[in-house]
Chains A and B, each alone.
Chain A
Amino acid sequence: MKNLIKYEFRKTWGTKLIILGITAFAELAFLVSLYLDKEKYNGLSILALTFLAIGGIIFIGIQSILTMHQDMNTKQGYMLYMTPNSCYRILGGKVIENGLSIFVAGAFFFALGALDVTLLLGHYGQLGELKKMLDEFLRQLRMEVPLDGRLFALLTLNFLCSWLATVITAYFADVIATCLLNGKKYNGWVSLLIFIALSWAMAYLQQVCTERLVWDARLIWNAVIALGCSAVMYVATAALMERHLSV
């Protein structure tokens, strides 16, 4: 398993390095503009960092889906599927590598965000006032959600778990297209519809199960349900591959 994870990482590390490099550049721009009091550039770099955090994590997932597709549909897949590993292990390697990448990237961007917000609050004291105003505004809307680190940590966790579940659902839809619908007309569209239907079903399940809960419990249970759906999707995908996949 260790080797499977290692080579999955090796296949995608180039783009991860690029994301890291661009992030380092944007962070440097943020720090310099903060130091020089250039509010316009400061705002732009915050925007870039926010975009990179969300876009980078989404891209890591999309790249994993593309790699999975390539491994099933090109001759390079022989390298993977001729090794003495079951499809459960091969898919497990992909899920673990992608899950780790998503969560490490999420933790990294969260820590970076926390650091930058602290620096911003330290530099522009009036931002503390702005936060108080937002808290008051939310209270008037009867949304008892405190704008604090815990909220953002839970939101991040929820986003990462849901995104991982979405990636594994995409694996499942792609495996259906490759194994069961290969050579059939509109197989890409059918697998896309399957992906949309399963994603909708997961979102519906999250809503139904958590609608009566308070905000923090809701976010935690949403993440738990996403992880549960990921596990179910993983088993279903690996079982399909084990039985039907020909590369």
Chain B
Amino acid sequence: MLKSEAVTRMFGSKTAVDQVSMTLEKGHIYAMLGPNGSGKTTWMKMAAGLCKPTSGRILFEGEPVGVCSRASIAYMSTEPYFYNWMSLKDVGRYYQDFFADYSGQRYAELLRSFELEESLKVKTLSSGMMAKAKIAVTLARDAKVWMLDEPFNGIDLVARDRIKSAIIESAQPDKLLIMSSHLVEEMEAIADRAIFLRNGQLIKEADIETERTENGCSIADEYRRIYGAQGGTEA
């Protein structure tokens, strides 16, 4: 469904993503793992069509990502990105105006489950409320691909459980879900596949269940093994 072909992205002399090639299939939830600066966000932004690769390309259903793919790929950035003048109701209207796959009813349900009022102004939201609002509006789209960058950042345990439920509800055999997070154990409970990135390079793709049954190690163990050598303590 989503294919990355030797994708490289450079910022000046720094290589953020380095020759990443992989194929992500529908019907799976991928955990994109790696310490800060490993290239997770940059790769997602390229897949969302927000950022252009320096070389290589990302294909969605066989076509390079761009204007058309944006109608089917729902991306949630880790940073707040709603316009300051908006209320949460305005955010919903905005998505309604631009995305054919958006459901206002689903948005209202998700906001309710996250205990957020539609009348709240974006500029008054705390970081946790903002994170929940971003997830609600992104999952309110019936997209073919969801990409959630750090969906659990700044969110308390109870809300995290609600978000996990919402994500699992959204996962369908014909959908693809990609999430990045530093909370590896949380990811292990949701995802069935893991992608390990380091210094912009793809280190490993793994089936979480196979790792567990055949190699007897969890994703957190694998994370420690891969990143431990460079002093990574993010698990």
Contact = CB atoms under 8 A, between A and B. Distances in A.
Interface in B56-78: 67-68, 70-71, 75, 77
B12 to A, nearest CB: 5
Given A10-B85, A82-B49, A84-B67, A183 B11 contact: yes
A84 B50 contact: no
Interface of B is mostly: loop
B37 to A, nearest CB: 17
Contact of B70 (A3, A11, A84): A84
Contact of A245 (B11, B52, B68, B80): B52
Contacts of A83: 70, 98-99
A77 B80 CA distance: 11
Interface residues of B, number: 25
Given A10-B85, A84-B70, A246-B51, A75 B79 contact: yes
Contacts, number: 56
B48 interface: yes
A140 B34 CA distance: 81
A85 B71 CA distance: 9
A76 B11 contact: no
- Interface extent on A, as a size class? 20 to 34
A70 to B, nearest CB: 10
Given A244-B52, A245-B52, A76 B70 contact: no
A192 interface: no
B156 interface: no
Interface in A1-35: 3, 6-7, 10-11, 14
A37 B49 CA distance: 64
Contacts of B82: 76, 79
Interface of A: 3, 6-7, 10-11, 14, 75-79, 81-86, 183, 243-247
